[in-house]
A = this chain, B = another copy of it.
Amino acid sequence: MTDWQVIKGGITAPKGYRAAGITAGLKPSKAPDLALILSETEAIAAGVFTTSQVRAACVDYCRQRLQAKASARAILCNAGQANAATGEQGWQDALESAQLLGKELNISPDSIFLASTGVIGQRIKMDALREGIPKLVAAASVDGGEDAAKAIITTDLVTKSIALETTIEDRPVRIGGIAKGSGMIHPNMATLLAFITCDGAVATHLWQEMLKRAVDRSFNQITVDGDTSTNDTVIALANGQSRTTAITEMGKPAQKLEEMLTAVCQHLAKAIARDGEGATCLIEVRVSGAPDNQSACQVARTIASSSLVKSAIFGRDPNWGRIAAAAGRAGVQFHQDELNIQLGGFSLMENGQPLQFDREAASNYLKRAAEGAYLQEDTVLISVCLGNGSGTGTAWGCDLTYKYVEINAEYTT
**Contact surface of A with B, Cβ cutoff 8 Å:** 50-55, 85-87, 119-121, 184, 186-188, 225-230, 305-308, 311-312, 314-322, 324-330, 332-337, 339, 349, 351-354, 359, 363, 400-402, 404-406, 408-413
Contacts and interface: CB of A to CB of B under 8 A. Distances in A.
Contacts of A226: 226, 305-307
Given A307-B307, A353-B87, A409-B315, A188 B321 contact: yes
A389 to B, nearest CB: 13
Nearest to A90: B353
B120 A52 contact: no
A236 to B, nearest CB: 23
Given A121-B353, A307-B307, A352-B87, A336 B55 contact: yes
Mostly helix, strand, loop or mixed at chain A's interface? loop
Contacts of A405: 311, 314, 400-402, 404-405
Contacts of A411: 315, 317
A55 B328 CA distance: 8
A228 B325 contact: yes
Contacts of A187: 319, 321
B321 A121 contact: yes
A307 B401 CA distance: 12
A325 to B, nearest CB: 6
Nearest to A409: B315
B410 A315 contact: yes
Nearest to A386: B53
Nearest to A354: B121
26 contacts: A50-B329, A53-B327, A53-B329, A53-B335, A53-B336, A54-B324, A54-B336, A55-B336, A85-B352, A87-B337, A121-B353, A186-B312, A186-B317, A186-B319, A187-B319, A226-B306, A227-B306, A227-B307, A230-B328, A307-B408, A311-B405, A314-B409, A317-B412, A318-B413, A319-B413, A401-B409
